[in-house]
Amino acid sequence: MNPRKVTDGVFFVGAPDWDRRLFDALIPLPEGTSYNAYLITGQEKTALIDTVDPTKWEVLKAYLEKVNNIDYVVIQHVEQDHSGSLPMVLEKYPNAVVIANSKAKELILTHLHVPEEKIQVIEDGDKLDLGGLTLQFIFAPWVHWPETMLTYLPERKLLFTCDFLGSHLATSSLFIEDERLVYLGAKRYYAEIMSPFRNLIKGHLEKIKKLDIDMIAPSHGPIYQNPDFIIEAYEEWISDQPKNIVLLPWISMHGSTQAMVEYLTSKLVEKGVEVQPYDISKADLGELTMATVDAATIILAAPTILTNMHPMAELVAYWVSILRPKAKAYGFIGSYGWGGKTLETVKSLFSGIKADFFEPVLVKGLPTQTDYEALDKLADAIVEKHRVLGLLP
């Protein structure tokens, strides 16, 4: 298999993973994903940028069949879906030097057990001359591990961004064919992996906007020939301004909490607020996570079971709390039978979040007229909050 030409001296040697259905043993992948590796052939030296997930080593190996020599393997990110085939690459090319920053070196040693002497440590801004082509390293810590770096190829105005700006999409196309599909795959990727680091991402985005870029080659998903498409999407996602949306993850065993959710949803919709309800027992956690990127308010709804909040709701509450979304207000509604510590659990899970908390609405059994009135008050409080945020007239 011949490496696939991206531009002069730059070839794609990565692997789509059509059948992968779960990322990080957590997030569903309706469109699969890919692990992109790139071969850069200068007049004097050849470099491989990243490798592939070890399950796809055979694909990379087939691309490298006729490649006699690799001088450098640049490791932009040590997570195994990109570096996991490094030991196999080094076995095939024993003289190859691994190019990594000092943090990446540490992680390569602990995660891949590559011999230390194979690794050459570089600094932020360092350049590697391949003969007519230059690799320039730009450190981008915490997108999304501490060692992440990007690589700029000025002669081709091409930026390799590793996980940053990537999308979950398995495709046989090198370049984007369907922007809508890539947008959703990139948002799914951003929501899970990048959104907790959005304040740092702002700085990295500003840095790369200063570069002269014609193409962005990420490590997941197709290559962007229109860099503005993904840069503008990221600018919207990382902005502090949420949208006029209430994210409402809910679960219900016998319909009481569900009745509350349906009532609150209809009241909010009546008042001009968009509601995104997700039945936690069936929802795609990736879609729910994507909704956290935009929502101004998050209301969790769950019944009590064995003295505490329903465990699937607890998982979602915990997940939302560690994602640290931009939502400005939170709330809890739910039904119980006789007692328990659901509310204490909610408070403790959300204790680290800096946002407003609405008065919770807890109902004994099926909601009564008085309970629906409490939900009316909650809807009014949400609408008022969205007005203050400038999201509603």
- Nearest residue to 185 via CA among 367, 31, 359: 31
Cβ(75)–Cβ(121) under 8 Å? Answer: no
Residue 345 binds to ligand FMN (criterion: CB under 6 A): no
Q: Is residue 56 classed exposed, middle or buried when 0-12, 13-18 and 19+ CB atoms within 10 A define those classes? A: buried
CB of 378 to ligand FMN, least distance (A): 17
Of 272 and 337, nearer to ligand FMN (C-beta) is 337
Among 112, 273, 305, 374, binds ligand FMN (CB under 6 A): 305
CA atoms within 13 A on the CB side of 248: 24
Residue given tokens 């505490």 in the structure block? 308
Select 339 or 352, whichever has its Cβ closest to ligand FMN.
Answer: 339
Question: Of 8-47, which residues contact ligand FMN (CB under 6 A)?
Answer: none
**Of 17-25, 197-205, 285-293, 331-339, which segment contacts ligand FMN by CB under 6 A?**
331-339
Site string for ligand FMN, 353-382 (x = CB under 6 A): ------------x-----------------
Closest CA to 96 of 108, 87, 105, 107: 87
Nearer to ligand FMN, 132 or 337 (CB): 337
Residue with structure tokens 């390799």?
160
Name which of 101 and 257 has its Cβ closer to ligand FMN: 257
Does 254 sit near ligand FMN (CB under 6 A)?
yes
Binding positions for ligand FMN, 194-253, rule CB under 6 A: 252-253
* # of chain residues touching ligand FMN (CB under 6 A): 19
| 242 close to 349: Cβ distance less than 8 angstroms | no
Q: How far is the CB of 366 from ligand FMN (least distance, A)?
A: 7
Nearer to ligand FMN, 339 or 393 (CB): 339
- H or E element, residue 209: helix 198-209
Under 8 Å between Cβ of 108 and 114: yes
- CA 302 to chain CA mean position, Å: 26
Question: C-beta of 336: minimal distance to ligand FMN in Å?
Answer: 4
Q: Are 197 and 190 in contact (CB under 8 A)?
A: no
Interacting residue with ligand FMN among 256, 276, 292, 345 (CB under 6 A): 256
Helix axes 179-189, 227-238, angle to 10 degrees: 40
Cβ 335 to ligand FMN, closest distance in Å? Answer: 4
CB of 259 to ligand FMN, least distance (A): 8
Other CB atoms within 10 Å distance of the CB of residue 288: 20
Query: Which chain residues interact with ligand FMN by CB under 6 A?
Result: 252-258, 303-307, 335-340, 365
